[in-house]
Chains A and B, each alone.
Chain A
Amino acid sequence: MSGSRARPWLVALGALAAGFGVLALGLAIAGYDAGLALGALWRGAFGSWYAITSATLVRAVPLVVLGLGLALAFRAGALNIGAEGQFYAGAIAATWIGAQVGGWPGGLAIGTVWIGAAIAGALWIVVPVVLRLRFGVLEVISTLLLTFVAEALVSYAVTGPLQEQSRIYPQSDPIALAARLPMLPGSRLHLGLALALALAVLLWLLFTRTAWGFRLLAAGLSPRAAEVSGRIPVRRMLGVALLWSGALAGLGGGLEITGVTYALFQNLSPGYGFTAIAVALLARLHPLGVVAAGVLFGALEAGAQGMQREAGVPAVAVYVIEAVIILVVLLTDAVARQAGERQAAAVAAASEEPA
């Protein structure tokens, strides 16, 4: 399921335009002042330096990191729909480890928390991987189910073992200072952005320059051809891709804890795991595109808060834009594929082959 090769930027822009069009239409129909709402959306995302760094980019970080993980999985043909659950697993681990590393030097503390969060995310996807490889269970279903389990686990954690000392609020104690990420002065933008960008470049090199990245692509496009002609261990690649995908999602959860909230509570994620699907798709699975798409969706969600404040439009309406974007990209892909099939059929017929 990698994207079509034709004009990815055009497709992305078109999808975006369609998304905004639908939103504007819906707002107008519902009786809102569409102009005010869209203006508020813009201001909430880009209206000030603070908005850009502390609203948009901060929200972009988990979207980029999760989006990279999903791009990796999708490229291999694995459908990880449960990044949300892996995110929470990482967040839980980060919270617990973050409380233990009080006296540690900063770099070591942060590194340990990050690694722990990534491992937790990978562990959270291990069961779906086993179910897929051993029992042939579609990972779509298993990863999804575990998301709900993860949410329940968070609820249990913050009302039980990880609950803050006074036992009043359903949230954890704040993590140790050593585990908190340094921030850009004058904003809430944290080190996680640098990590996200580094990961994007790393993945880009991996995809386009290495033999492993090529094998991943082949395995995702045609498992049978990859096995028979490429002698690629497709199942193993699928499992590895899923595990790394889970690790990145878990890391995203860790970044959110160490960089933004410093504590665990329910509904920590406003659906990052699902929005990241849209991010990866819009980016046509290209790591650098994931950065751009992540920033875009971060802007959308930041702007949505502004839209709710200023124009009274419920923030959750932004999901509609995201859904439209995904659908437009899917439709464009489908149309391109059908055109390709027609062309292939014409070529086959134009040579001297039996019809």
Chain B
Amino acid sequence: MAARAEVASARAAGLRLLAPTGAAGSRLAFLIERIAARDRAAFSALYAATSAKLYGIILRILRRRELADEVLQEVYVQIWERAAYYDAAKGAPITWMVAIARNRALDEVRRKTAVSIEDTPEVMNLAGEEEHPLDRVEKSQELARLSQCLDALDSNRRELVLLAYREGMSREVLGQRFSRPPATIKSWLRRSLLQLRDCLGQ
């Protein structure tokens, strides 16, 4: 079975598979197609190639490992079940998988009581994170572009967007963080989103 070899090659290829587009993206798309045909070896390959990335994203939002473990399981079961519905025309495979992971993690975190502000680390510096090996390999134009547009937002709005997206903070928690009522946060978000959209020109 071709996909058996995929397991090994996916591991060898490691993080390069995570490129959002191009050959590596079509590799993931191929695996997803095999998974839709119920190929378990392809599933193992996809898991090997993507689980650390998805786990990192989920853990960052949920903060608690036992919760993150549970959500990761559900996410991969969903990927198995939904593979037949993946539509390459609608987005890159990794974007599809990240959306599944973030949506599950966010559903989970919104159901719980708000994470105490003491639990939340300082927002990490985007520039600093770009030092990460992943980014050195795939220091994408997209990230550079987005980063520029985030910097162009009013004062602390870049931090607001990052805290929301990566830490999964609700308006209430963001309100505590910035000492503003949630309604103010809402209007900040609104304005920042429109600015971002226009800056990115998509």
Chain A complexes with chain B: no
Q: A interface vs B, CB < 8 Å?
A: none
